[in-house]
Structure 1
Amino acid sequence: MALNLATLKTRSLTAAIFVVVMLGGLLWSHWSFFILFTIIHFGCWKEYQQLIGKIDPDYLGITPFHKYGVRIAGWCIMLYFTNNAFNIGDFSLHAIGWWLGLICVFMLPIIELLFAGNIRLKNIWLSALGLLYISLSWGLMMDLRCFGMIKKGASTYVDFFGYALPCILIFSIWINDTMAYIVGSLIGKTPFSSISPKKTWEGTIGGAVLCVGVMALWGYLSEFLRVIDWMAIAAIAAIAGTAGDLLESKLKRMANVKDSGTLMPGHGGFLDRFDSLLIATPFVWLYVMIFMK
């Protein structure tokens, strides 16, 4: 019992710190948002490469230029999607991402050819998948952040509820996860997937329904955006987020590890915390681009 209480205390403390850091990064300013997701981006990449290395030991043989160069190339995708809304003097992160990304595209293959003893096409594809899985998702998250920034002049933006769409998405995932856990604990009996034995159909469906209901009420009370948009984002977050959780669970099972990292004692690493968001973000972005532009 003492061990359980100690574990619960550790999990509660780290969860509270996590929420405070996340809310601070999300709500303080667009720059805190960028810094937050830059840290998350590199943290996810580190754990992704560790997992892939455990799944396929050949990937451990990539050169340092490949290992760190692909992380920087991925970060350039994030910079590119800031859309000139993030400026430092006369420099925009969008332009920096574009030019630095071009340099990476040309230099990484050349350096790999010069220094790698044995180039494996499989390793290149595994890194490319990481760019799609991690970097593109966080790039699209930056684009969602820019959605609420109103352009004033050629290169000046005013931050007008830019945090709204990312927060609706992230809060939807938090609510879905919480409700799915509660419903699953109370009435869950039917296993949802062998990949994640603790998930049940009752919990998954109950979590999604309650998530959409809570976000619909929140949207109705806030009178910000259409209620249907709140509901759609919540539904996408619940469905795609569950798929993201299962995907990361599959990767961990293939790597034969319990957690992707040790970021939060009792809660796992970056990929454990943001697996749902990684998959949900591109689908929410598509919804916003198609139905909210």
Structure 2
Amino acid sequence: MRLRAITGFFFIIVMVGSVLLGSFVFSLFYLALSAFCLFEFYKLIKQNTAKPNVPIGLLNAVLLFTAFALFNYASFSALPGLSGKHMAFTLLFLLPLTSGAILMLELFKKSTAPFNNIAYTYFGIIFAVVPFIFFHALAFVGGSFNFHIPLAFLIMLWANDTGAYVVGSQIGRVKLFERHSPKKTYEGLIGGIVISAGAALILGHYYQELSWKQWVTIAILISCFGTMGDLVESMFKRSINVKDSGGILPGHGGLLDRFDGLLLAAPIVYAYLYFISN
């Protein structure tokens, strides 16, 4: 428990620092984080399921994340002397070649199930990288870099996790999805929503880009879809018979274990903010 608490403390410091230290640190941090999550995914798959093409998968992930990041920077001219959109389009036009390499290189391997390897290589990018692309875009949804929204997202996600754990462990009775996560309960889900909504009300007092109703709506979306993301990651681990996605965070498991709530919630929250801001 002590090791878990220490790891959690430093984890929060790093996460908050990544948001507060400016747009370029923010982008580089989440580019690296998404690449590590993808590597962790491939490492798990290679244990007993398939043999994804790790180098080409990582290359595609970096190109995809960087291209969309450049689109965000181009929206407020953060790259003096450079055309962010031109650079982004250049990277996107490279993707047919690099993603096609996933298919072509499989021709040279002696594999009994080549399309398993291909499928998991592509799916890893969708599962472990695309959500971080949407989370990164949250900071630019208003047209310029604003750390308030991604920081608020993390705070509400942590509030949901804390509320769900405390309420679920104390009064949880009715199981949510027992075959995927035996400890999750409907009472915990409701507790997470209430605590996250409370955090949203406080955030709305200080971060006035959105109304309090919009912040609470985001909190509810994070709680519901964050829980679904957690369950999906649990389903994934059970399907390959592993307990934790890794051991990089002592007492907490792997990176995918820590960011499972972001997998579905970040794209949904981005879509909500995009439509209400346009």
By the TM > 0.5 criterion, same fold? yes
Post-superposition offset of 1:179: 0.8
Q: Is the 8 A contact 1:78 1:97 kept in 2?
A: no
Normalization by structure 2: what TM-score? 0.88
Secondary structure of the equivalent of 2:184? coil
1:284 matched to 2:269? The reply is yes
CA root-mean-square deviation: 2.2
Secondary structure of the equivalent of 1:147? coil
Post-superposition offset of 1:117: 3.6
Which sections of structure 2, spanning at least 5 residues, go unmatched?
Answer: none
Evaluate the alpha carbon distance shift between residue 33 and residue 197 of structure 1 in structure 2; reply closer, same or farther with a 3 A threshold.
Answer: same
From 74, 78, 88, the equivalent of 2:61 is: 74
Number of equivalent positions: 270
Corresponding position of 1:21? 14
Post-superposition offset of 1:104: 3.9
Q: Is the 8 A contact 1:81 1:139 kept in 2?
A: yes
1:48 matched to 2:41? The reply is yes
Q: Is the 8 A contact 2:142 2:277 kept in 1?
A: no
Q: Which runs of 4+ in 1 moved over 6 A?
A: none
Tell me the amino acid that sits aligned with residue 36 of structure 2.
G
Tell me the amino acid that sits aligned with residue 128 of structure 2.
I
1:9 matched to 2:2? The reply is yes
Structural mapping, 1:101-250, within 5 Å = 101-110=92-101, 111-112=104-105, 115-118=108-111, 120-150=114-144, 159=145, 162-194=146-178, 195-250=180-235
Post-superposition offset of 1:113: 5.5
Corresponding position of 1:85? 73
Tell me the amino acid that sits aligned with residue 177 of structure 1.
D
1:36 matched to 2:29? The reply is yes
More displaced, 88-97 or 45-54? 88-97
Q: Is the 8 A contact 2:135 2:266 kept in 1?
A: yes
Tell me the amino acid that sits aligned with residue 168 of structure 2.
G
More displaced, 100-109 or 42-51? 100-109
* Percentage of identical aligned residues: 31
Normalization by structure 1: what TM-score? 0.84
CA separation in 2, counterparts of 1:147 and 1:168? 14
Q: Is the 8 A contact 2:67 2:91 kept in 1?
A: no
Tell me the amino acid that sits aligned with residue 96 of structure 2.
V
Q: Is the 8 A contact 2:233 2:260 kept in 1?
A: yes
More displaced, 37-46 or 81-90? 81-90
Evaluate the alpha carbon distance shift between residue 112 and residue 94 of structure 1 in structure 2; reply closer, same or farther with a 3 A threshold.
Answer: farther
CA separation in 1, counterparts of 2:212 and 2:64? 31
